[in-house]
A and B are shown apart, each in its own frame.
Chain A
Amino acid sequence: MNLLSPIVFLILLALGIPWFWPSGNSVLIFGLPAWVVSAIVVSVLCSAFTAYLLRKPWAHEKSKAEDG
């Protein structure tokens, strides 16, 4: 994990908790309250970013490959 990754996760954490939504909002998207959809979207982004980070070889894999 590089230095940027924790910052991305912190931003996703801040956006994933719906503290910033107006409390009286009654808009529905796909049958769900808008704040729920926003939480789901952020969670999907978080999963995608995690999977993206896991796509890259880990440090010890690289050093092993170099040794090999």
Chain B
Amino acid sequence: MDNLPTLGLGAWLFVSTYLLSLLAIGWLARSAQRSNTLKDFYLAGNGFGFLVLFLTFFATQYSGNTFFAFTGATYRIGFGWILSLHFMTAVVVVYLIFAPKLHALAKEKNYLTPADFIDDRYSCKLLSLVISIIMIIVLCNFTLAQLMAMGRAAQGLSASGGDTAYSSGVVLLALIMVIYGTLGGIRAIAWTDALQGTILLFGFTFLIFLMVDRFGPLENATRILMERDSILGTTFTTRPDAEACRTWLSYILAVGFGVSLYPQAIQRIYAAKSAIVLRKSLAMMAFMPIPTMIIALISGIMALAYFPGLEGATADSAFGTILREIQMHSALGHGLVVVTLAAVLAAMMSTADSALLSVSSMFTKDIVSKYGGANLTEATLTKIAKFTSWGLVLFLVGLAIILREKTSLVQLLDRKIDLLIQLSPAFILGIRANFLRGDAVLAGLSVGVITALVLAFGNFDFVENGKIAGFHPGVIAVVPNLIIATVGSFALKNNNRALE
């Protein structure tokens, strides 16, 4: 992101106006608050309509970092990254399995956090605590990555591009985010997501036309890459080999089952006003990977064809290279790049704010409220939730500044999907299969998490580029997890019968 185009005064005014409008939305959301309860703060009293729900789903699932990372991934592997289209669609397909029943249960039993379902379904305190802790760890990593991405974007946009710009960017953007988040809770986050989602859609739709205007038809870029493949033996345009095909399958399963279990996404299922609203929003979401992922793919292909030579992690700056070229090419391009950059900031903030609010809800409801001892009132819990958000932001901002050079820690974030997929037996199978028992699910989850982490960090010879024969450690680890959960549940059932 270090090579983002620098902005002029007019562009900074545009970005500043956008950022200030987020604070105004936070204030408006506070005025719309109906009661001082956790349910109103975190789920807006289950009142999300179609447009807000759709845009908040969209802005939450597609982060600004995704555009940089996905364009960078295309730059590294070529057309093979079209697999991103499949795995983002898989997320919505997986919702079909569990969202209908989960939404109905949430309405009926007033769920607030993902662990509320686990409590209700399994009556196993330890299982719901372990699941909350895993989700909090995953989301803290996730928020940290977004904060670091915001800092890098600020660094890339400033004329100096130094460490001060990085730190100021992280502090300023996180401050704006936590102010509107604590002012209006999920309402403020969803409304800002709606604005951010609209900017995203607008910015990226026009980007494709400007790319073709600047670089010419896509066919030219593809032919350049085909020629490079035949001369240098690269595989940018050739179809994936057998191992890569297995990686496609692994990505579809890992992202489909992992990302659909993001706590903030589960809470949006709870917050939908009605089943019809949820169905319509998910139906729209089913089509969103097509424009977003294809634009990221085309940007990566254009950068690869016309700006070769970005190696390793610097390939992630391919998107910035494309934006800079478009900005220099025409006045319209300059204007659009400003909107696109605002969209990138918007995407990062909307992803981070949702994750932050979700962590604060789980910490307050699943840990403080349950294990805090005294009977705390709703108003006190809401206050604790707001303090938690501020404390967490302070901690993560500090971490983002300290770790700015340690990219290896950012790489740890890739493991979040490996962890999240381990929760799929508890949620996705658990909502459909009545025979599943809490103790067996907990045993399976523990084995799955340990196996995934050992395979990912164990430095084994058979692990290549973080994959085993093309499969993610998390996908492999979910097999014993699933077997233990199901076989263990049957064994417990038979054992109970024998005792009776």
A interface residues (Cβ-Cβ under 8 A, vs B): 1, 5, 9, 13, 16-19, 21, 23, 25-26, 28, 30-33, 35-36, 39-40, 43-44, 46-48, 50-51, 53-55, 57-61
Contacts and interface: CB of A to CB of B under 8 A. Distances in A.
Contacts of A48: 286
B79 interface: yes
28 contacts: A13-B249, A17-B240, A17-B245, A17-B248, A19-B245, A25-B239, A26-B226, A28-B222, A30-B219, A33-B237, A39-B83, A40-B290, A40-B294, A43-B85, A43-B89, A43-B290, A44-B290, A46-B86, A46-B89, A47-B287, A50-B89, A50-B282, A51-B284, A51-B286, A54-B96, A57-B275, A58-B100, A59-B100
B276 interface: yes
B239 A23 contact: yes
Nearest to A25: B239
A36 B290 contact: no
Contacts, number: 109
B58 to A, nearest CB: 14
Interface string B81-117: 0110110010011001100110010000000000000
Contacts of A47: 89, 92, 286-287, 289-290
Interface of B: 79, 82-83, 85-86, 89, 92-93, 96-97, 100-101, 104, 217-223, 226, 237-242, 245, 248-249, 252, 275-276, 279-280, 282-284, 286-287, 289-290, 294
Nearest to B107: A60
A64 to B, nearest CB: 8
Nearest to A63: B104
Contacts of B287: 47, 51
A13 B89 contact: no
Helix, strand, loop or mixed for chain B's interface? Answer: helix
B239 A1 contact: no
A43 B82 CA distance: 10
A46 B323 CA distance: 31
A58 B104 contact: yes
B275 A13 contact: no
B231 to A, nearest CB: 14
Contact of B275 (A5, A35, A60): A60
A54 B103 CA distance: 14
Contacts of A50: 89, 92-93, 96, 282-283, 286
Given A18-B245, A47-B89, A61-B275, A30 B283 contact: no
B77 to A, nearest CB: 12
A3 B205 CA distance: 37
B100 A60 contact: yes
B217 A31 contact: yes
A13 B222 CA distance: 26
Contacts of B85: 39-40, 43
Given A40-B85, A40-B294, A59-B100, A19 B242 contact: yes
Contacts of B226: 26
B82 A61 contact: no
Contacts of B93: 9, 46, 50
Contacts of B89: 43, 46-47, 50
Given A31-B217, A53-B96, A55-B283, 6 more contacts: A17-B86, A17-B252, A19-B240, A25-B239, A28-B219, A47-B92
Given A43-B86, A47-B287, A54-B286, A23 B238 contact: yes
B497 to A, nearest CB: 29
B147 to A, nearest CB: 32
Contacts of B217: 31
Contacts of B283: 50-51, 54-55
A32 B286 contact: no
A30 B218 contact: yes
B282 A54 contact: yes
Contacts of B245: 17-19
B252 A13 contact: yes
Contacts of A32: 79, 218, 222
A40 B79 CA distance: 11
Nearest to B101: A60
B275 A1 contact: no
B62 to A, nearest CB: 15
Contacts of B248: 17
A29 to B, nearest CB: 10
A35 B79 CA distance: 9
A39 B217 CA distance: 20
Contacts of B104: 58, 60
B218 A21 contact: no
A43 B328 CA distance: 35
B286 A58 contact: no
Nearest to B240: A18
Contacts of A19: 240, 242, 245
Given A33-B239, A43-B85, A1 B101 contact: no
